Amino acid sequence: MAIHVEHEIHERRKGRNFGVLGLLLAFVGLVFALTVVKVLELGEAKKFETFDHVARPAIIPEEGDTQ
């Protein structure tokens, strides 16, 4: 007895399901590429480095430092 039962709806909706898969993959690729571009556009990483619940002396602006 076959463990996997193939319903006819699987065959009937195959094209549509692959279409949705393609769209989802494209969406993931889009968000990933957008993230890479946005982060690289920031230039200096220090600009978006910040405190994460812990004091980080390394990024405390020094006196006279305009940033």
**DSSP 8-class letter at 62:** P
By beta-carbon proximity to another protein, the closer residue of 33 and 59 is: 33
Q: How far is the CB of 2 from another protein (least distance, A)?
A: 14
Q: Which of left, alpha, beta for 33 (phi over 0: left; psi -120 to 50: alpha)? A: alpha
Per CB under 8 A, residues contacting another protein are: 8, 12-13, 15-16, 19, 30, 33-34, 37, 41
Considering the complex, what minimum distance in angstroms separates the CB of residue 61 from another protein? Answer: 28
CA 6 to the chain's CA centroid: 34
Please say which residue, 40 or 58, places its beta carbon nearer to another protein: 40
At 10, list the tokens: 């699987």
